[in-house]
Amino acid sequence: MTTHIKFVEKVEKAAEIISQIKVFRAEGQSEGYNQSTESYDSLEKAKDFIWSKFAALGISKEDEASHSLIAEGYCKEGDARTVFCERHFPVISVPWFRKIWEIFSDGQPLSTENETKTHGTSDVSGSIVELIKSSKPASQWRDRDLIEAYNIDSDGEISDELKKRSDGQAVVVFSDENAGTVDVEITGDLLRQSRRRQLPKIYKKDGKVYKLYVVGDFPSEIYEESPLAPGTLLFNGNCEVCGMDFSGVSKEARQFLRVAYNEEATPKENDRIAMLGLVAAAKSGVEELRRIFPEVGIVYDELAKTDELPSLKSVNAVENKSENSDPFGRGNQRY
């Protein structure tokens, strides 16, 4: 019942928006069809429009059980967009659909799949999906489209075109360096400025300082090092040297293992049974390891006091489509 009441309230809220905009209607069925627009002069007509569209999705005004289909994830944004913007007149433009979809989806992210041209106008003119579908070379893309498509896994053609347009200057800013998320707005602004002048190495905006990256370079990534094989990075928790899986072993327990390794207290790599027993003990925690290696525990505590425990981390500067993108290649810096 609560879901039903909330959904009805959302319909009323969306109707307030629909009543203030124009909807498209078709006139005739000639090639390309003609369009006309009209406005709903009352909230009731706007609500009728919304309910008629939801009916095509199996969500009816009378069937309260169907009002949970969006909240439960069975009715997706792409399904609703097709009905509200493409399938049968009257329809609304995609930007207005997105505005009302935020109401029904409680602000969940909008997808970019199935972006299409609607009623003779471009849905999102120059969108990445449309550019890919039309197979346009990157040299014909807008700056913004290139930047939105740019990431560590993007096609080399995209990086090459951005390098060309930036003339080798550092223009890329990451809004989240850990996730490698490019700040499209700032990067676009810097790319435009790079055509007129030399850019600084850092960029300040709204009191925040950003590091600028050359196209092809990405923020350093931090990898975990095997506690029982110095210099070897873990992949999904696994060590390719000792063959052990350290998933589920705490940071403190891994540090203890490294101290034990440095003190030559750990089993030999070829003693697999003993190694498996050691890792199993490590998954139980530091106290279990202290019971097995009391002398190592003393060394561990002394190192902890002076903040000298091994971090077991390795920094790797990542470069798009280059050998450096291999976290297990040379050039890692341990600390």
> pLDDT-derived band of residue 121, with 50, 70 and 90 as boundaries?
very low
Per-residue pLDDT, averaged over 274-293, amounts to 94
Mean pLDDT of the chain: 79
Three-class SS of residue 332? coil
pLDDT for res 3: 72
Per-residue pLDDT, averaged over 102-116, amounts to 60
Query: How many whole angstroms separate alpha carbon 262 and alpha carbon 299?
Result: 10
How far are the Cα atoms of 113, 114, 141, 186, 254 from residue 144, in angstroms, in the given order?
A: 18, 20, 8, 11, 44
> pLDDT-derived band of residue 118, with 50, 70 and 90 as boundaries?
very low
Note the pLDDT tens digit of each residue in 31-54. 344 456 677 778 899 899 999 999
Give the H or E element holding residue 24: strand 22-27
What is the end-to-end Cα distance of the chain in Å, rounded? 57
Query: How many whole angstroms separate alpha carbon 86 and alpha carbon 80?
Result: 10
What are the backbone dihedrals phi and psi of residue 306, each rounded to the nearest 5 degrees, phi first?
-100, 10
Query: How many whole angstroms separate alpha carbon 127 and alpha carbon 148?
Result: 9
Give the H or E element holding residue 334: strand 333-334
pLDDT for res 40: 74
| pTM recorded for the entire structure | 0.38
In sequence order, the β-bridge partners of residue 211 are 202
* % of the chain surpassing 90 pLDDT: 30
> pLDDT-derived band of residue 320, with 50, 70 and 90 as boundaries?
very low
> pLDDT-derived band of residue 127, with 50, 70 and 90 as boundaries?
very low
Least confident of 75-89, 113-127, 240-254: 113-127
